[in-house]
Amino acid sequence: MRTVILVFILMLTMTVYAVQAKGVANVSDAVDDNQGKTGRYQKTVTLSALMGEEGARAFEGAVEPGHEIHFDVYVPNTYDPSRPAGVLVFVSPTISGQIPKKWKKIFDRRNLIWVSVGKSGNKVSALRRIAEASVSPAFIAQNYKINPDRIYLSGFSGGGRISSYTASYYPELFKGTIFICGVNPWAQTPPPLFDIIKKNRFVFLSGTQDFNLRETKKVYKLYNKAGVENTKLMVVANMAHAIPDSTKYDEAIGFLDKDLP
C-alpha cells in the first residue's frame, strides 16, 4: 500500500504545488456560493468543479473527475476577511465529518476554520482519503481569506494514519499535524522532502489506556531520531482510544501555532 501511495503522491505533486502557487485559491470558480458564510454547513462538490478538468485528471486511478466530495465545514462567527483564518483539515475514521461540539470554542478563539470530508472514513480507500484531504484547503480558500502558514492537518485513529501519509507527502501545504491515537511510520527514513518536513510541527497525542499508545511513542521517537525537532508527545491520563477534551486539543493546536507572528 505504501508503494502505491508513493506513486500516487508523485502524480499529485504538480497539482498541489499549482494550488499553492495560486495562494491555494482560484482553482475553480464553481464553488464560491458559500463565500463568507459562518457556522457549520455542508457542501458537496465534484473533484473537477473544485480543481478544474486538468487538475482532476491528476487524480486518475484514485478518484474520478466526477467524484463527489462531501465537505463538512465550521467557520467561527467572528470570521473577518481582514484577519485571514487558519485551516485545519480533519481526517475522520467514520462517515461523519462534523466538528465535535466540545472543540468549537477552540476554533472560535483561534480564528481557525474546520474542514472534514463526510461519507468517507476507514472503509474507503486510503488513496481516496489522501486525495480528499489534500484538496480540502483549496475548497476553503475559494470562500475565505486564509493564512497559508496556518494550514494544518489532524486525524483520529485510522484518520491519524491517513494524516501521517498526507503530511509527509505534502509538507509545503500542511505546516503542522496532530496525530490522535493513530500514526504510521514513514515508508522510508528519511522520507522524500525531508528538509521541508523538518520545518513543520507535529503533535503525537494518545492516552494511557489507548491500545495505540506504544506505536504512537515509537513513531514519535522515529521522528526525533531522524532530526525532526518540532515535535510534542502528549499522553492524556486515563484516556482510551478516543478524541481528547477541548483543553488538550487546544494545547495541541497551540503547539502548531507556536512562534507564529
pLDDT in tens, 160-178: 999 999 999 899 999 999 9
Q: For the chain, give the number of residues.
A: 261
Amino acid identity, position 137: P
**Do residues 182 and 159 touch, judged by C-beta distance below 8 A?**
yes
Average pLDDT score, the chain: 89
In angstroms, the CA 3 to CA 1 distance is 5
Query: CA-to-CA distance for 109 and 129, rounded, in angstroms?
Result: 28
* Alpha-carbon gap, residue 93 to 256, rounded angstroms: 22
pLDDT of 214 over the 50 cut: yes
Domain range holding 46?
A: 2-257
Q: Is the pLDDT of residue 73 over 50?
A: yes
Residue percentage of the chain with pLDDT more than 90: 80
What integer pLDDT is reported at residue 61 of this predicted model? 83
pLDDT of residue 159: 98
At residue 259, the pLDDT reads 83
Whole-number Å distance between alpha carbons of 204 and 252: 9
Q: What is the largest CA-CA distance in the chain?
A: 49
In CATH, what number is assigned to the domain containing residue 235?
3.40.50.1820
Instruction: Evaluate if residue 35 carries a pLDDT over 90.
Output: no
pLDDT band, very low/low/confident/very high, at 110 (cuts 50, 70, 90): very high
Mean pLDDT over 34-44 rounds to 92
pLDDT of residue 148: 95
For the chain, how many structural domains are there in total? 1
Three-state DSSP at 148 gives strand
Query: Which grid cell is 185?
Result: 511510520
Contact 166, 191 (CB under 8 A): no
Does the pLDDT value for residue 122 go beyond 50?
yes
Give the list of residues 6+ apart from residue 238 with CB closer than 8 angstroms, or none.
207, 208, 209
Range 70-90 average pLDDT: 97
> What 3-state class would DSSP assign to 246?
helix
Whether pLDDT at 13 is above 90: no
Residue 208, pLDDT > 70, answer: yes
In 91-191, where does DSSP find H-type helix? 104-109, 126-141, 158-169
Rounded to an integer, the average pLDDT of 199-228 is 98
Distance (Å, whole) CA 223 – CA 220: 5
CA–CA separation, 32 vs 261, rounded Å? 29
Q: Residue 236 above 90 pLDDT?
A: yes
Query: Mean pLDDT across the stretch 135-142?
Result: 95
The count of other CB atoms within 10 Å of the CB of residue 94 is 15
| DSSP, residue by residue, 35-101 | TT--EEEEEEEEHHHHHHHHHHHTTTTTS-TT-EEEEEEEE-TT--TTSPEEEEEEE-SSS--PPPG
Examine the pLDDT at 22 and tell me if it is beyond 50. Answer: no
pLDDT at 9 over 80: no
- Report d(CA 7, CA 170) in Å as an integer: 14
- Rounded CA-CA distance 202/45 in Å is 30
Q: What average pLDDT does this structure show over 15-27? A: 44
User: How large is the average pLDDT for residues 169-193?
Assistant: 95
- pLDDT score of 32: 57
In angstroms, rounded to a whole number, what is the distance separating the alpha carbons of residues 248 and 234? 8
